[in-house]
Structure 1
Amino acid sequence: MYIPKYFKIDDEEIIYDFIEKYSFATVFSQHNGEPYATHLPLILNKDEPALYGHFARPNEQWKDVGNQQVLVVFQGPHCYISPSWYETAKAVPTWNYVSIHVYGKMEIIEDRKAILDSLNDMVNKYESPDSPYNLHELEPGFIEGMSKGIVAFKINITKIEAKAKLSQNHPVERQELVIKQLENSSNQDNKQIASLMKKNLLK
């Protein structure tokens, strides 16, 4: 990923926080000699570090992805920035965004217990704390049958590239004008970008 130095995120904890918050990602690999992508929720294990997830078994990306170097893209908030918000007409439109690229080697998980543990971690992450749903309370036979329809995997992380393009290349005064416009918007991405820009200004 092209990352000018003023847009680069180096802080590992910030990167991991974004991955966990915007965890619905795109997994890219080579399949039958061509680029191929699948959109999946993923679970981060920071201690390894690794990403866990699963394909639907009919999705044949899993058949030749083992031991490939894969690319996983996590897309954070993003929004259009109008030059009309600036104090000058000598400007062009742009786009502010946060994006994380994770590279790693994928391995298919065969162990049944590890597969069920991975599914349980996924459910626990996305179910609300007061949800009555509990994977462990379902009939073992039902879970075993459903799990045969998926292919679980682990991506051992080898490299991370992280970018936050938040108008850092513009004067502070101009950044403040952009923040003001975004905060007045009803669009949630706009508001999130404004919040990130304010945090960046306060560093």
Structure 2
Amino acid sequence: MSVNGDVGFDSVADAVEAFAQGEFVVVLDSPHRENEGDLICAAQDFTPAKAAFMIRYTSGYLCAPILPALAARLELPQMVGQNTDPNRTAYTITIDAAEGVTTGISAQDRSWTCRMLADPKAQRDMFRRPGHVVPLQAREGGVRARAGHTEAAIDFCKMAGKEPVGVIAELVSDGEDVEGKAEMAGGFGMMKRDECLTFARRFGLKVVTIEDMARHLAAS
């Protein structure tokens, strides 16, 4: 049960413990914001197997939250000069690891790029531009400064004693197979609260809200 008594959600402390052991967590934002759930992992723990799982059950658009200091060190400017995203998500230019990848798009390649981002010795020349991983510059102050999944990933990394680099992607409902047809049937939107809870329980994942994270951090 979450801090605010919402049945179905886990405590932030339990989620941090799982995250520290290298597990995914599911994080939901406000119903008045995106009202979506993201699958979140520490970049240093992002194996090819985890990347394949994330790609299978999300949009497949893998983003890597990083701190402003790392963005500056790697010389990763914002993707656009004028950000018109409704939530001001701070996309930087895309990257691939400069070595150890092929085309950059496979689960193997993207997991390697993300793990390279989490290397404390990461430098600009270790990455090529453009690429297939999208770094996101987190706001200083975490979810208490901006109630976004970008900041949630960084806060989880910090609370779990990980390098402050995460990997996130939105959970989606992509329908069901249609026998004999190269198409899907059913809903094609984003997973909302109840679907996220069902998904998390199916795979034994902890699920929390950004609201509970902010409360937990304020109390600690």
Q: Give the TM-score category using the shorter length.
A: under 0.3
Which structure has more RCO (C-alpha within 8 Å, separation ≥ 6)?
Answer: 2
TM norm structure 2: 0.25
* Structure number with higher strand proportion: 1
TM norm structure 1: 0.26
Q: Larger C-alpha radius of gyration, 1 or 2? A: 1
